[in-house]
Amino acid sequence: MIQLDKVSKKLGIFELKDISFSLPAGYICGIAGRNGAGKTTLLHLLSGLYQPDSGAVMIFDSRYDTQEKQIHDSLGVVLNEDLMMKHLNLEKNGDYFGTYYSGYQKEQLISYLKQFGLEKNRKFGKLSKGEKLKYQFAFVLSCNPKLLILDEPTANFDVEFRKDFLKLLQEFIADGQKSVVLATHLMEDIDRLADYLIYLEDGRSIFAGQMEDFREQYRIVSGEAYKIKLLDREDIIAMEQKKYGAKALVRHHGYQHYDAELTATAPTVEEFMYFLSKAKTAERRNYEKVIH
């Protein structure tokens, strides 16, 4: 469904570099990383809003430079910018933008509007941030896309709708024919939903692949600090010492055995991010020490 081959894109001083990844049909992929890591840039490349400087982006086995219209027809994109007509009501927005998608079904839009508690006669410009996102989500679903690309969709949703929304995503992929790519700061959504993960840091992918492999490749090891330090130094990404013991993110190898007094569990994406930030801060401090 998605194939990225060594994709790079420069934006000013920022560069998204050498991203390779593939996502088959029937899965949800989460994109995670701190502010400015490159998540939105990657989504723009996937949606055809940016062309890569080098490498190839293939969606449904097609390339944007030759088969853009074909790709767009099966793509449902919800980015943070609202691209609808502010002065038109929700039904009319559907009538207008629906003409660009062969799969658009008005009855479906009306039914989603009811389900999401949005009145079809309201003007799009009068909706709140969260309602605008809800509407755009309802609209793209009514176009029957094969791939959903969503940037930070749940940040403005209330708790109840967030639950419904995550359920809808799971239903969307349930027939094994469709996929979702979702960039978010809500790591628990990724931990709960995603089958694939792209973790970005400063434009590089630290991990890109199946969640199962992610959970296989890293461990959170807890116990006495000196026992953790006996592990291969190269494998310890970051360690945190507390009064009653220590905790570290370590690279895990299939053959690795840990001291019986240490506990080793697969990390959540949230823990992974926490320890990577710690490693980054330590790296920065060391750098400052060297140059001062």
- Residues that bind ligand ATP in the complex, under the rule CB under 6 A: 11-12, 14, 33, 35-41
Tell the smallest beta-carbon distance from residue 236 to ligand ATP (Å): 26
Write down the least CB distance from residue 174 to ligand ATP, Å: 28
Virtual torsion, Cα 105, 108, 114, 119, nearest 10 deg? 0
> What DSSP string runs through 218-244?
EEEEEE-HHHHTTS-GGGEEEEEEETT
Of 200 and 264, which has the nearer Cβ to ligand ATP? 200
Residue 233: name the closest of 245, 221, 256, 250 by CA.
Answer: 250
SS3 at position 31: strand
CA separation, residue 31 to residues 18, 24, 52 (Å): 16, 16, 18
The pair of three-digit structure tokens given for residue 136, joined into one six-digit string: 């755009």
- Integer Cα distance of 214 and 174 in angstroms: 23
Shorter beta-carbon distance to ligand ATP: residue 104 or 157: 157
Q: How far is the CB of 228 from ligand ATP (least distance, A)?
A: 31
Q: How far is the CB of 18 from ligand ATP (least distance, A)?
A: 15
Nearer to ligand ATP, 33 or 223 (CB): 33
Q: Is the Cβ of residue 91 or residue 202 nearer to ligand ATP in the bound state?
A: 202
Q: What is the DSSP letter of 184?
A: -
Question: Closest separation between CB of residue 127 and ligand ATP, Å?
Answer: 22
Distance of CA 248 to the CA centre of its chain: 25
Q: In the complex, what is the shortest distance from the CB of residue 38 to ligand ATP, in angstroms, rounded to a whole number?
A: 4
CB nearer to ligand ATP: give 203 or 223.
203
Comparing CA positions, the residue from 187, 172, 205 lying closest to residue 25 is 172
Q: Which is nearer to ligand ATP, 123 or 204 (CB)?
A: 204
In the structure encoding, which two tokens stand for residue 216, read together?
């296989």
Nearer to ligand ATP, 24 or 36 (CB): 36
Rounded CA-CA distance 173/188 in Å is: 19
Least distance from C-beta 55 to ligand ATP, angstroms? 16
Q: What is the DSSP letter of 255?
A: T
